[in-house]
Amino acid sequence: MNAESRNESFKIGQRVHSLNDARRVGTVKYVGGVEGYSGTWIGVDWDQDGDGKHNGSVNGVFYFNGRSQTSASFVRSQNLSSGITLLQALELRYRTTSTKDEEDEMYVLSAGNKRVSIQLLGGDKIQDKLSRFEELTSASLSYLGVSSLGVSPDLGSILPNLKLLDLTGNLISDWEEIGALCEQLPALTTLNLSSNSLSSEVTSLPQLKNIRVLVLNNSGVSWTQVENLRRSLPGIEELHLMGNMISSITSMSSSDDQAFNSLELLNLDDNCISDWSEVLKLSQLPCLEQLYLNKNKLSRIFHSVNSNESPKKSSDPFPSLRCLLLGANNIDDLASIDALNVFPKLVDIRLSDNPITDPARGGVPRFVLIARLTKVQVLNGSEVRAREKKDSEIRYVRMVMTKLTDKSEIELLHPRFYELKKLHGIEDERASTESSGPKNMASVLISVTLKCVGPSMGEKPELTKKLPGSITVGKMKILCENFFKLKNIKPRLFLQEEGSPFPTALDEETSTLLDVGICEGSTILIDEEI
């Protein structure tokens, strides 16, 4: 009877978790009988693929649509929990004391292999402080099965100093209840609701003037919901929206000029944005300093929706942006790299795991990116120091000089070439090498350090050689065989660049040293073909 009587507590659309595992969370999709089995069953579509056994159909009979082939299962009501209240979770997390049995298990073994009980120094004081909720400034209640925030007029007096509340992975969905919670907790500035399946209805929210940081990762929110939320968040400074399958950004409404005017960090990592024009809809946010777009589907960057429009004719996009993370996208063209120079304060850029940064996929090495990015100070998480920036720009100019001579073509393909050539006082080496005099020949010699790193090469001292920049990679391999007396070993060359975590393979044997960016002071690693 007890099991049957609990059936009424579950309804379709309700969020639940497995009774014995609060991290196994799902949504009720069916309540009723299952052919071939007695009694009432609860059909649950679990959030994590693999937590279920089927897709909502059993023995050829359809009951509900599961998200995947292994996300759904049927469960008896006594094996599910509809959750607990916020205050119950606080009691569970912060007022639970260890039992005598648990304390007996806290021991170390002495030299004589005997148990010696241990006691945590200051443990009583820490527990006492945590148990007094009025002293809590932060609370982590992740994956405790919180389904009701239990908002009451007394909540503010119970938690008067709570500034940070982490409710990740619970059963919360009602925005009205979330709004009431924030009103009752006047000190609350940071709220994490990640991995809760939040309702699509965002209505009747009060002004949440104290909320500065809101985290909604993996919560299923759309940008339409964000638009509705922003009117209630006049002081928001950080908004995290990772993993919500957002593909488009509705135009920022002009009806509320103050909305998001304080936003400094927007995290859109791991979404589905493929068109840069969607990103440009955020470009006039006045205080936005950090924009995270890792793991999206972007392939091009441009300075305006009309890419033919001169940047000087339009207002500066992203006027305060200093950090832009674009790792693991599909960017594969240098014009996109050049477009980043339009952002007036952008100094910290991540481009790793894009085709353009992978020479094996037709990309360019780190020094080319540094040379083309006017203001870059941090690239792919690594600081770009003044020495590396200068060396990169000189290498880049010399590389272009060995490949192109047509001025209009250079201006089109390498917008910073003449600026950098003048900045570093680099003369046209093609003209200087037309004379065959020994002085001119010596002027194009570059000093290169050679290091053997192949496992079969043994320990060989590194060498520093002065070499013509015009010799090819193929010729360089032959020279390395002679320099290090490499017998029966086919060398493979890599350029080791300052600030780059991995060396760049030099596989194009017809390219010259200058072509691949080797300049004065470069280091070449000699490995062996596998």
Give the DSSP per-residue string, 219-238: S---HHHHHHHHTT-TT--E
Q: Rounded CA gap, 78 and 39, in Å?
A: 12
How many other C-beta atoms can be found within 10 angstroms of the C-beta atom of residue 33? 12
Rounded-to-integer distance, Cα 387 and Cα 399, Å: 18
Contacts of 296 (CB under 8 A, 6+ apart): 268, 269, 270, 271, 272, 273, 274, 329
Nearest to 241 by CA among 278, 212, 273, 268: 268
Sequence-separated contacts (24+) of 340-345 with Cβ below 8 Å: 340/301, 340/373, 341/372, 341/373, 341/374, 341/375, 342/303, 342/311, 342/316, 342/317, 343/316, 343/317, 343/318, 344/316, 344/319, 345/319, 345/320, 345/321, 345/375
Going 502 to 508 to 510 to 511, the CA torsion angle's sign is negative
Distances (CA, A) of 116 to 109, 113, 121, 264: 6, 9, 15, 53
At residue 131, the pLDDT reads 52
How buried is residue 313: exposed, middle or buried, by Cβ count under 10 Å (0-12/13-18/19+)? exposed
Across 305-334, average pLDDT: 79
Residue 313 has pLDDT above 50, yes or no: no
Neighbours of 421 (CB within 10 A): 21
pLDDT band at 361 (very low <50, low <70, confident <90, very high): confident
Residues 464-471: what's their mean pLDDT?
Answer: 90
For residue 519, the one-letter residue type is: C
Report CA Rg, the chain. 31
For residue 104, what pLDDT band results from cuts at 50, 70 and 90?
A: low
Tokens of 10: 């579950």
pTM over 0.85: no
What's 156's DSSP letter?
Answer: H
When pLDDT is cut at 50, 70 and 90, the band that residue 1 belongs to is: very low
- Read off the pLDDT band of 203 (50, 70, 90): confident
Q: What are phi and psi of 161, to 5 degrees?
A: -115, 10
Considering the chain, what is the average pLDDT of its residues? 85
Contacts with 379 (C-beta within 8 Å, 6 or more apart), sequence order: 349, 350, 351, 366, 369, 370, 373, 499
Stretch 464-486: mean pLDDT, rounded?
91
The larger pLDDT score, comparing residue 311 to residue 245, is at 245
CA distance 357 to 350: 10
Highest mean pLDDT among 121-135, 188-202, 304-318: 188-202
pLDDT digits (tens, 9 = 90+) for 37-75: 999 999 999 999 999 999 999 999 999 999 999 999 999
How confident is the model at residue 168, as a pLDDT? 96
> Which DSSP category does 47 fall into?
S
Strand partners, 45: 27, 72
Cβ-contact 161, 137 below 8 angstroms: yes
Q: How far apart are the C-alpha atoms of 453 and 460, rounded to whole Å?
A: 9
Region of 395 (left: φ > 0; alpha: ψ -120 to 50; beta: rest) is alpha
- 116, pLDDT greater than 60: no
